[in-house]
Structure 1
Amino acid sequence: MTTETFNIKVAGSMPYARLNTFIWDESEEMPKVKRPLIFMCPGGGYEMTSDREADPIALQFVAMGYNVAILRYSVAPAEYPVALNEAFYALKLIYKKSEEWSVDINKIYVQGCSAGGHLAASIGMFWHEDKELIKPAGMILCYPVITSGEFAHRGSFEALLKSCYTPEMLKRNSLELQVTENTPKAFIWHTYTDDCVPVENSLLLIQSMKKYDIPVEFHMYPQGGHGLSTCDELSMCPNGYGVQKECSSWLGLVKTWLRSED
């Protein structure tokens, strides 16, 4: 396994913006094969990028046999579209390195939790606006921020938009309104009792994707708060929060979903 860190710099980037990669090596025992890659966007309300939603999840995907790249994107006081531009820049870097890393660029899945789910879904909605980008193979969205409407996590949009917090920009970033035939398929999970980002965020996105007959696998768990990550002790907060064992099945379910898509 080779791990590297790459600085990510676009207009407005913060000094810490970076891409951390986990790339499978070839060896005499393990022949070189092209592998899919999971492009991860940790959550944090566009005010931070969560450690709990980074390496603990990344290592689960590595164990499944995937290459992984974690984008530590710029957050407030950086404002839209800096994080999205960083994501596009990072994806182009992955394309450039794809032969060296044995990455199948047609099998890059974007993954994100909470506000990171908003960024990952934004890639899914807007990738076609950049002619150098390839359609993601799919979106893996964990309790994502989606809507700027009635069920919005208002703080995420305030942190993301800052000086461009206008009706027009709120509409553009209300992603259930941005679904088109270009939107990739998705695996989504949420909890019914999420008291931070209401489950309606996922439901509204699914409803919009259904209108375009875009496949979605959705799992709604009856119990659990927000920001659960792996849902077990691996990503548990120091105060013990984050353990919801019945929700940890999402990792096995997404593995099955990915295998069926590969």
Structure 2
Amino acid sequence: MKKILFILLLAAAGMTSAAPTDIPLWPEGVPGQRDIGPEKTGDGYTANVSVPTLTMIGPAVDHPSGTAIIICPGGGYVRMATAREGDQYATWLSTLGVTSFILKYRMQEFGHPAPLQDVLRAVRLLRSRAAEFGIRPDRIGVMGSSAGGHLAASAGTLFDNPLGRTGAPLDAVSARPDFLMLMYPVITMQAPSAHAGSRKALLGKTPSPENLTLMSLEKQVTAATPPTLLIHTQADASVPVENSILFYQALTKAHVPAEMYLLEHGGHGMGMRAGLGTSSLWPRRAEEWLRERGLLTPVPVQ
């Protein structure tokens, strides 16, 4: 318990033991780039993104695990809760020996499939430069919260979809994550459990039936979907807990290893907030899951 509280205090203070490094996602030019005005930041949020990046935060331990996690903050595809669902998670993961990469992705100003292209490009970039970043190419996971959870789950189900390719040489590199960690994720785009705001921001006011089905990710799970951890609460009044349940059921049907924690307390966007009873201890459950899968055991970098 003391360890969890210590991590929460570090995260709340925005403290990390390794200086962050920004990595351009599309150095050759962002696909479909257009002028949408300046990026907006403040109060822990980021919006109006036109130049996607990865912010690398290295491990704060002597023996890094070699595991990397791409973090997708939530915000309904309108903005990103960069501090609460990006920096704090990276600080916690740093203490576990994990190298984190916070993804700054395109949102409503570009719409589908720009976010999918960004997250798959992130996986491909890390896998192609794994030795440079001190990570294993077979230990790259994606973690996301809320709409960021939808983006992370998109990476785990649509990694081979043609919409995620842009014709760049990196398209030849596998974009399949090795595991997923989904925090109160948006999953379905269809009633009655859809989050209407995320659907509108990603797919527009009148999405086609084809896009509604494609981006209802419980319908896209296959045996190739990576092992997944899901965490959600009953008290979530914004994204119904049924989203996680639908995804878990699909994973189980496809025989994909999955673990799900449905907790009582904690509204939507709880992040790593203390004072929520057992819900505040989700980092402990996540650490156990990572450790059980061998992802926290240090291995040589190839």
Normalised to the residue count of structure 1, the TM-score between the two structures is 0.88
Aligned match for 1:7, one of 19, 24, 27: 24
Work out the CA distance in 1 between the residues paired with 2:19 and 2:135.
13
- Amino acid of the structure 1 residue aligned with 2:229: F
Contact 1:120 1:139 in 2 (8 A): yes
Instruction: Read off the aligned partner of 1:3 and give its amino acid letter.
Output: P
Check conservation: 2:120, 2:175, Cα contact below 8 A: no
Stretches of structure 1 that go unaligned for 5 or more consecutive residues are: 233-242
1:40 aligned residue: 71
Which residue identity does 1:46 align to in structure 2? Y
Of the candidates 129, 137, 140, which is equivalent to residue 181 of structure 2? Answer: 140
1:254 and 2:295 equivalent?
Answer: no
Q: Among residues 4, 14, 17, which one is paired with 2:52 in the alignment?
A: 17
Question: What pairs up with 1:236-251 in 2 under 5 angstroms?
Answer: 243-251=275-283
| C-alpha distance in 1 between matches for 2:124 and 2:102 | 14
Over 3 Å counting, the alpha-carbon distance change for 1:60 and 1:66 in structure 2 is same
The alpha carbon displacement at 1:3 in A equals 2.3
Deviation at 1:16, TM superposition (A): 4.1
Which residue does the alignment assign to 1:120? 152
Change (3 A) 1:199 1:163: closer
In the TM superposition, what is the alpha-carbon distance from 1:223 to its structure 2 partner?
2.1
Kindly provide the CA deviation profile for residues 33-90 of structure 1, in whole angstroms up to 9, marking residues without a partner as x.
6610011100000001112111011110111110000101011111101011011222
Number of positions where the alignment pairs a residue of Structure 1 with one of Structure 2? 248
Q: 2: CA distance between counterparts of 1:99 and 1:34?
A: 13
Q: How many Å apart are 1:213 and its aligned residue?
A: 1.3
Root mean square deviation of aligned Cα? 1.9
* Deviation, structure 1 residue 252: 0.6
Superposition deviation, residue 245 in structure 1: 4.1
Q: How far has the Cα of 1:119 moved from its partner?
A: 0.2
CA displacement, residues 7-29 of structure 1 (integer Å, 9 cap, x when unaligned)? 33331354342110012489xxx
Q: 1:94 to 1:226 in 2, by over 3 A?
A: same
Match of 2:107 among 64, 75, 80: 75
Consecutive unaligned residues of structure 2, counting only runs of 5 or more, are 1-17, 34-48, 162-170, 295-302
Partner SS for 2:137: strand
**What does 1:27-176 correspond to in 2, within 5 Å?**
30=62, 35-51=66-82, 52-129=84-161, 131-149=172-190, 150-162=192-204, 165-176=207-218
Q: Give TM-score scaled by structure 2 length.
A: 0.77
The residue identity in structure 1 corresponding to 2:67 is: P
Structure 1 residue runs of 4 or more that deviate by more than 4 Å after TM superposition: none
User: What corresponds to 1:235 in structure 2?
Assistant: none
For residues 185-243 of structure 1, what are the alpha-carbon distances to aligned partners after superposition, in whole Å with 9 as ceiling and x for unaligned? Answer: 111010012110000000011111111111111111112210001122xxxxxxxxxx5
